Amino acid sequence: MTDDSMRITPIGGCGEFGKNLTLYMYKGSVYVVDCGVKFAEVWQPGIMGLIANFDQVFAAYGAPTAYLLTHGHEDHIGALPLFYEDWPAPLYTTAWTMELIKIKFEKYRLSFKSKTHVVKGGDKITFADELCVEWLTMNHSIPMTCSLLISTPKLRIFHSGDFKFDPDPPYEQPTEVKALQRLRPIDLLLVDSTNSAAPGDSLSEKTVREPLRAYLRGDHPRIFLTTFASNLWRLLQVIEIAQELGKRVYACSRAIETSLEIGARLGLYDADRYRVTVITKTTRRIAADQAVVLVSGCQGERFSTLASIVSDRVRACALGADDLVLFSSRPIPGNELAIIKLCERIKERGARVVSVREDRGIHVSGHAHSQDIKNLIEVLAPKTLMPVHGNYSHLDGVQKLNCEAQVFMPTNGDLFELSQAGLKPLASEPVDDLYIDAESLVPLSFRTMKSRVRLGESGLCEVVGVIDKRNRNWLLPPHISNMTGIIEDDGIAALRQRVKDALREQLHSTDFANQTIAQVNNTVRIMFRRQVNLYVGKKTFVTSNVVEV
Ligand SMILES: [Zn+2]
Ligand SMILES: [Zn+2]
């Protein structure tokens, strides 16, 4: 590594949706761009999400010098409170993102052990080693999103983060695409690939206005509208339309309330002019006429407000047959089934559902379509290009745009060296995922996760027994003390007896004399597992707790 070269490794977000995390290493410093979480999948019971194993990351590359956070979506900041205590470092981000991080830290009862710096578009931060980070405001589906120009005296990298070019955003300034030309020469561009397969330019956030207005003006006396709670621009548009139509707006979601509160605090939302009534647990039933209720749950989340309303668990508003439920959102990959199931339950209640499946006009993405990605590449003219933020086909979509830059297709953990000679792959050091338990927030390894899944699939059988320490005679022959999740309770006694009968001979003919107690337990565990399997037909999780006295 030459003194003025830089090492770059995308730890997460490549070949997957979520968990975005990229390290930039320069002169011994480690700059961490984004620290995201990834949604759990259906086969991962009780899991809140997945994060990278940060201990492994920082043990390999060194402790972080600074965290640079591009925007406040969970796939960019969600992991921060889960490892920050052990790896504190100064934190740089915009006011909106910082507000969200503060809320997270309060929730987790964490304190900032290092300085926090609120930045805004146009700011340049130069670190001691002469690495400079310029923050560039971009349009996205959450306020105050930035791309980063990371430069050293010899190298210039553009880290796009999540972005799109919105020519006429409703509440922000548009990004002057041509003006980005001043950032040239760019040695490397890391670009958001999420929507690389979507043709043409990105659609403006404003395009949802008229389609949503048509539904709000329609015959349904009450409308439940769900969207991403962090999309303040969408919430504000709905609130404005509702007010114009003389409807009363309610917010029935802590996350939406939070967005509006932050919006008001940072001067992005005029709470006096656009009144929203907050629905809490104690709110009495609201009038069903002329009401627009903003709710969370657009991803079909089991414990969301929308799911609670559908299950009649919200006193203020039970779902009725005249209601309309609008999903002004898209499914995040992996959540499709949960959303379909929730929609089915809504329809079962007699209410009408409209999502992007029925009307594409009620949602637009915050990610650049292929033409926007092309425009960014053209205006920056990078020597090398690395698609990030997406599954393989998203990344491949950027490659297929046939731009002039040399394209490097990364997988998580690939280590690159950037110098004036170009970008060079060095090695690949995959980082383990940790599974975050939804209740305790304790990180779990893959091994523990696998045991949890096996327990869920196969149930638990516990065996106990007592063996003589010296002559290895059975003082209490091993027997099933408990079975959970295998068969119905009234069948357990019969199964217990059958296993006992089947193993009686085997236990006495097996030579335990030279076995340690650990070996005895292992032998007993295998014997019982085989027998239980004979009866229930599956590899049950068996624990053996034989003690020696
Ligand atoms: Zn985002
Ligand atoms: Zn993202």
Residue 474 CB coordination number (10 Å): 14
Location of structure tokens 């043990």: 59
- Residue 366 DSSP symbol: S
Distance 74 CA to ligand 2 centre (A): 8
Q: How far is the CA of 70 from the centre of ligand 1 (A)?
A: 9
User: What is the Å distance from ligand 1's center to 366 Cα?
Assistant: 7
Structural domain containing residue 180 = 6-201+365-444
pLDDT of 71 strictly over 90:
yes
Q: Identify the domain boundary among 414, 444, 474.
A: 444
The CA-based dihedral angle spanning residues 363, 364, 370, 375, taken in that order and rounded to the nearest 10 degrees: 170
pLDDT at position 303 is: 85
Measured from the alpha carbon of residue 76, the closest ligand is 2
If you measure from the C-alpha of residue 480 to the centroid of ligand 2, how many angstroms do you get, rounded to a whole number? 50
Instruction: Mention every residue, 6+ apart, whose C-beta is less than 8 A from residue 57.
Output: 11, 21, 23, 431
Peptide bond into 185 cis (omega under 30): yes
Q: For 51-55, 93-97, 490-494, which range has the lowest pLDDT when averaged over its residues?
A: 490-494
pLDDT in tens, 309-346: 999 999 999 898 999 999 999 998 888 999 999 999 99
Are 112 and 56 in a shared domain?
yes
Q: Which ligand is nearest to the CA of 145?
A: 1
| Confidence band of 441 (pLDDT split at 50, 70, 90) | confident
- Residue 2 pLDDT exceeds 80: no
pLDDT digits (tens, 9 = 90+) for 243-290: 999 999 999 999 999 999 999 999 999 999 999 999 988 888 888 789
Q: Are residues 45 and 189 in the same domain?
A: yes
Helix axes 517-536, 489-509, angle to 10 degrees: 130
Q: Residue 113 has what pLDDT?
A: 94
CA of residue 51 to ligand 2 center, whole Å: 14
Answer yes or no: do 390 and 519 share one domain: no
Tell me, what CATH number does 499's domain have? 3.10.20.580
Which residue type sits at 521?
A: N
Q: Does residue 248 sit in the same domain as residue 329?
A: yes
Closest ligand to residue 390's CA? 2
Domain-terminating residue out of 382, 414, 444: 444
Helix (H) or strand (E) holding 515: none
* Ligand 1 mean position, distance from CA 11 (Å): 17
Q: What is the mean pLDDT of the chain?
A: 94
Query: What ligand is nearest to the CA atom of residue 35?
Result: 2
Residue 150 lies in a domain: yes
Q: Where are the strands (E) in 344-446, listed by range? A: 352-354, 384-388, 406-407, 414-419, 422-428, 433-437, 443-444
Does pLDDT of 63 surpass 90? yes
* Nearest ligand atom owner, CA of 19: 2
Cα(443) to centroid(ligand 2), Å: 22
Could you tell me the CATH number of the domain that includes residue 246?
3.40.50.10710
Cα 190 to averaged position of ligand 1 atoms, centre (Å) = 15
The alpha carbon of residue 188 and the mean position of all alpha carbons in its chain are separated, in whole angstroms, by: 26
Amino acid type, 391: N
| Phi, psi angles (nearest 5°) of residue 477 | -55, 145
Task: For residue 364, give the amino acid letter.
Answer: V
Q: Token match 């335990």: residue? A: 512
> Rounded to the nearest whole angstrom, what is the distance from the C-alpha of residue 192 to the centroid of ligand 2?
8
**pLDDT band at 1; cut points 50, 70, 90:** low
pLDDT score, position 543? 95
Determine, yes or no, domain membership for 451.
no
H helix or E strand, kind and range, residue 50: strand 47-52
The amino acid at 286: I
Q: Is 161 left (phi over 0), alpha (psi -120 to 50) or beta?
A: left
pLDDT at position 286, please?
86
- The rounded distance, in Å, linking the Cα atoms of 95 and 262 is 9
Q: How far apart are CA 24 and CA 294, in angstroms?
A: 40
Query: Which ligand ends up closest to the CA of 73?
Result: 1
Q: Please tell me the distance between residue 213's alpha carbon and the centre of ligand 1 in angstroms.
A: 26
Q: How many angstroms separate the CA atoms of 314 and 318, rounded? A: 7
CATH number (domain holding residue 40): 3.60.15.10
* Percentage of residues of the chain with pLDDT beyond 90: 85
User: Of 444, 475, 493, which residue sits at a domain end?
Assistant: 444
Residues 18 and 66 in one domain: yes
pLDDT bracket for residue 167 (50, 70, 90): very high
| pLDDT for the residue 212 | 98
Q: Is residue 449 situated within a structural domain?
A: no
Of the chain, the percentage scoring pLDDT greater than 70 comes to 100
Do 191 and 334 share a domain, yes or no? no
pLDDT of 414 reads 98
If you measure from the C-alpha of residue 162 to the centroid of ligand 2, how many angstroms do you get, rounded to a whole number? 5
pLDDT band per the 50, 70, 90 thresholds, residue 149: very high
Output the CA angle 393-165-132, nearest 5 degrees.
90
Tell me, in angstroms, the distance from the centre of ligand 1 to residue 376's CA. 17
Question: Does a structural domain hold residue 56?
Answer: yes
Residue 18 Cα to ligand 2 midpoint, Å, equals: 7
Could you give the number of structural domains in the chain?
A: 3
Residue 41, pLDDT score? 80
Rounded CA separation 26/152 (Å): 9
What is the structure's pLDDT at 187? 98
402 and 352, same domain (yes or no) = no
CA 73 to ligand 2 center in whole angstroms: 6
Task: Tell me the ligand closest to 140's alpha carbon.
Answer: 1
Q: Where are the alpha helices (DSSP H) in 230-315?
A: 232-244, 254-265, 305-310
**Residues 407 and 375 grouped into a single domain:** yes
Distance 71 CA to ligand 1 centre (A): 7
18, 69: one domain: yes
Residue 267 resides in a domain: yes
Residue 403 and residue 467 share a domain: no
pLDDT at 29 over 70: yes
What average pLDDT score do residues 432-454 get? 89
How many Å apart are CA 13 and CA 413, to the nearest integer? 10
Which residues of 429-514 form beta strands (DSSP E)?
433-437, 443-444, 460-467, 474-484
Contact 121, 135 (CB under 8 A): yes
**Rounded to the nearest whole angstrom, what is the distance from the C-alpha of residue 464 to the centroid of ligand 2?**
50
CA distance 89 to 69: 12
- Model pLDDT for residues 104-141, shown as the tens digit of each residue: 999 999 999 999 999 999 999 999 999 999 999 999 99
**Which candidate, 145, 185, 151, places its Cα nearest to that of 165?**
145
For ligand 2, the distance from its centroid to the CA atom of residue 370, given in whole angstroms, is 16
In angstroms, rounded to a whole number, what is the distance separating the alpha carbons of residues 385 and 407?
5
Over residues 144-157, the mean pLDDT reads: 98
- Given pLDDT bands bounded at 50, 70 and 90, which one contains residue 403? confident
Closest CA to 252 of 205, 210, 313, 208: 313
Ligand 2 centroid to 194 CA: how many Å?
A: 8
Cβ–Cβ < 8 Å for 433, 416: no
344 lies in some domain: yes
Q: 454 in a domain, yes or no? A: no
- One domain, residues 106 and 183: yes
| Mean pLDDT of all residues in 473-487 | 93
Judged against a pLDDT cut of 90, whether residue 439 lies above it is answered with: no
Centre of ligand 1 from the C-alpha of residue 152, in Å: 26
For ligand 1, the distance from its centroid to the CA atom of residue 86, given in whole angstroms, is 26
Q: Are residues 196 and 224 in the same domain?
A: no
- Give me ligand 1 centre to Cα 145, in Å: 8
What DSSP designation does 163 have? -
Ligand 1 mean position to 162 CA, how many Å? 5
Average pLDDT score over residue span 219-226: 95
Distance 452 CA to ligand 2 centre (A): 29
Contacts of residue 102, defined as CB under 8 A and 6 or more positions apart, other chains included, come to none
- Tokens describing residue 487: 């068969």
Q: Of 228, 180, 179, whose CA–CA distance to 205 is shortest?
A: 228
Whether 502 is covered by a domain: the verdict is yes
Contact 29, 65 (CB under 8 A): yes
Nearest ligand to the CA of 71 is: 1
